[in-house]
Amino acid sequence: MIQRIQSIWLFLAAFAAAGLLYFNLYTYHALENAVDTAKQFKANDKYGLFVLAILLIILPLVNIFMFKNRKRQKGLAALSIVVAIGFIAVMVMLVTNLTNNTPPPSSGSYGIGAIMPILSIIFLALAISGIRKDEKLVKSLDRLR
């Protein structure tokens, strides 16, 4: 049912993933024409990251309305976790490539956006836990009939 706790967790996972499009993933200082400039790296800057971020938003939202098929709902939540891990891997790879440029940035730090996929994974794991509890509840009610 839509009012179950896993729906809230799935919505929070989608909301955290939406933060990827708003917050910076990485901020660094680079020298351009002998001037130190601050640059920001967002998910919108790279096509691959943008597609993964959109998937991270859409999958949990679609998953909320699959409440009648708990097996598919659990599988889609697991797929969302895999996409989030893929997003983290691609982000780290792009930041590593950025820091290996010539000349390398003088300093850099991860932003709030880098935490968002981790929050999304946590919320998706909590949603899977809620789906499992629903499955147990339905099985126990089937035994009583």
Per-residue pLDDT tens for 59-99? Answer: 999 998 888 888 898 999 999 999 999 999 999 998 888 77
- Average pLDDT for 102-116: 81
Q: Which domain holds residue 77?
A: 5-144
How many other CB atoms sit within 10 Å of the CB of residue 138?
Answer: 10
pLDDT more than 90, % of the chain: 46
- pLDDT at 55 exceeding the cut of 90: yes
Judge contact between 11 and 127, C-beta under 8 A: no
Prediction pTM value:
0.86
Q: What is the pLDDT at residue 27? A: 85
β-strand partners of 36: 31
- Quickly list H helices, the chain: 5-18, 47-64, 70-99, 116-144
- pLDDT at 108 exceeding the cut of 90: no
Q: What is the pLDDT at residue 145? A: 57
CATH code of residue 88: 1.20.140
- pLDDT at 119 exceeding the cut of 80: yes
- pLDDT at 104 exceeding the cut of 80: no
How many domains, the chain? 1
119: Cβ contacts below 8 Å, ≥ 6 apart: 13, 16
Q: What is the pLDDT at residue 8? A: 92
40: Cβ contacts below 8 Å, ≥ 6 apart: 24, 26, 27, 111
- Average pLDDT for 20-39: 81
Q: What is the DSSP letter of 40?
A: E
Average pLDDT, the chain: 86
Judge contact between 64 and 55, C-beta under 8 A: no
Judge contact between 80 and 64, C-beta under 8 A: no
CA distance 33 to 78: 47
